């Protein structure tokens, strides 16, 4: 009998589908068999498995364990916790691979998987290969076993071990009812200062707001808490705890690329000349500031798996994305962990009298759009960026960076157009030195979209 799964759930960086439809327990068991087969054929013997706070996650994790043990693997069930807790488990338990059941920040009816093998992200062609193995039922067989190895306490202790005490702070925290809530509470119980916690109860229906701190409307409650409690800052997490959002005492959002300036300054003070990586959506301010502070800035492709791989290749101590995925190899393991990033930010603030507000005020000012996402057919999205690149070839008034889509640099600033690797959408962003320049950049972007017969976003 031929068994197949919906190929649409096999994304570039992870696996995601609708629970009970494209992402069932049967499908997850098959994916467990396929991933377990890859682990065995890579010489691996053990896999750590964790799951997030979604209602469907415990049963789906059990299905994954069933598939993995059928390959003869030793499975360590580390329990419920953030995705970075699962990454940490692969190091703490010395496992050969990791499998996390998580829907990240998708709507409640979604769930998925994030995978690691031999210390590296498992993504791209490797994820597509799982579908091939399932189609062919080409699996390794064996009699593995599963043991319970809860790791939340150890994970929290590891994060806290890098905290640097100093002046006390007042901090508001918002877990958005995501799986980071329990760890967030445990961390705050051990930290000095005053802490106001919002929505720390894990609830897979996300009753208060969607757990995505990169969408500003999801930070309304956090901003209000910061104002009401006169906090120094507010910190928010996404649904599985691998992305961070931050606001200052005035409720102003510090986006991922702005936060990176603060972390990079501290790291470069100790490790001058280091290569620091940021994705193609990041502000030019970040790249300029890294260079000014004595670092080597590198622009790379968007995507947590791609960034992690590049970090390893270049031995970079620090990297990040505008979306709030932040990666510390300096003192940590090089994976994206929002709770750890929070501790590193707080530790910088405790060591100085300078406020987060003044750090933001001290950064060069640019005028930019948020990340703009708009529909584009799956079979057109990559082609559009190539068409734009071809049309702009030979224009000596422009500089075209094609690391990921096209980032077009002009005298006014830059605009970006790239295809999402996970959805049938195009992603755009513009940044200029002044309002008039931003208007011109937007017009350039719209002109190129219309030339490719794509409806421009409303911005």
Dihedral (CA of 260, 264, 266, 267) sign:
positive
Contact 73, 48 (CB under 8 A): no
Q: How does DSSP classify residue 218? A: G
C-alpha–C-alpha distance, residues 335 and 281, integer Å: 19
Q: Which of 104, 121, 283, 420 is catalytic?
A: 104
CB atoms within 10 A of CB 148: 9
Q: What angle do CA 158, 188, 93 make, to 5 degrees?
A: 20
244-273 CB burial, b ≥16 within 10 A, e <16: bbbbbbebebbbbbbbbbbbbbbbbeeeee
Is residue 95 flagged as an active site residue?
Answer: no
Length of the chain in residues, anyone?
A: 459
Dihedral (CA of 339, 344, 346, 347) sign:
positive
Tokens representing residue 376 in the block: 């584009």
Tokens representing residue 138 in the block: 């080409």
Classified as helix, coil or strand, 46 is strand
Pairing of strands 170-174, 145-148: unpaired
Classified as helix, coil or strand, 16 is strand
C-alpha–C-alpha distance, residues 340 and 332, integer Å: 9
Catalytic residue ranges: 104
């Amino acid at each position: 009998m031929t068994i197949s799964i919906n190929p649409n759930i096999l994304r570039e960086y992870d696996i995601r589908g609708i629970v009970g439809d494209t992402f069932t327990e049967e499908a997850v068991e098959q994916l467990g068999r396929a991933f377990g087969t890859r682990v065995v054929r890579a010489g691996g013997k053990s896999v750590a498995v964790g799951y997030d706070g979604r209602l469907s996650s415990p049963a789906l994790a059990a299905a994954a364990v069933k598939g993995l043990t059928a390959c003869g693997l030793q499975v360590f069930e580390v329990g419920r916790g953030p995705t970075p807790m699962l990454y940490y488990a692969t190091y703490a338990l010395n496992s050969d691979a990791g499998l996390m059941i998580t829907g990240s920040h998708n709507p409640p009816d979604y769930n998925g998987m994030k995978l690691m093998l031999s210390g590296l992200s498992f993504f791209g062609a490797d994820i597509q290969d799982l579908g091939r193995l399932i189609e062919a039922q080409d699996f390794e067989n064996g009699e593995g076993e599963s043991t319970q190895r809860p790791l939340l306490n150890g994970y929290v202790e590891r994060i806290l071990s890098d905290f640097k005490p100093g002046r006390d702070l007042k901090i508001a925290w918002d877990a958005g009812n995501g799986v980071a809530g329990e760890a967030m509470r445990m961390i705050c119980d051990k930290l000095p200062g005053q802490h106001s916690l919002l929505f720390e109860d894990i609830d897979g229906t996300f009753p208060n707001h969607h757990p995505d701190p990169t969408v500003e409307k999801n930070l309304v409650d956090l901003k209000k808490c910061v104002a009401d409690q006169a906090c120094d800052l507010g910190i928010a997490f996404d649904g599985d705890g691998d992305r961070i959002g931050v606001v200052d005492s005035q409720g102003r959002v510090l986006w991922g690329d702005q936060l990176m300036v603060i972390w990079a300054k501290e790291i470069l003070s100790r490790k001058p000349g280091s290569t620091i990586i940021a994705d193609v959506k990041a502000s030019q301010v970040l790249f300029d500031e890294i260079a000014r502070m004595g670092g080597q800035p590198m622009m790379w492709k968007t995507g947590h798996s791609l960034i992690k791989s590049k970090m390893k290749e270049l031995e970079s101590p620090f990297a990040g994305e505008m979306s709030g995925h932040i990666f510390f190899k300096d003192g940590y393991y090089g994976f994206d962990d929002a709770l750890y990033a929070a501790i590193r930010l707080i530790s910088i603030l405790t060591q100085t009298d300078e406020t987060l507000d003044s750090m933001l005020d001290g950064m060069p000012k640019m005028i930019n759009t948020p990340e703009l996402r708009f529909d584009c057919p799956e079979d057109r999205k990559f082609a559009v960026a190539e068409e734009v690149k071809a049309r702009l070839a030979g224009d000596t008034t422009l500089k075209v960076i094609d690391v990921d889509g096209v980032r077009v640099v002009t005298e006014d600033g830059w605009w970006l157009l790239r295809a999402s690797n996970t959805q049938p959408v195009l992603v755009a962003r513009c940044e200029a030195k002044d309002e008039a320049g931003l208007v011109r950049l937007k017009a350039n972007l719209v002109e190129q979209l219309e030339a490719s017969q794509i409806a421009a976003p409303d911005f």
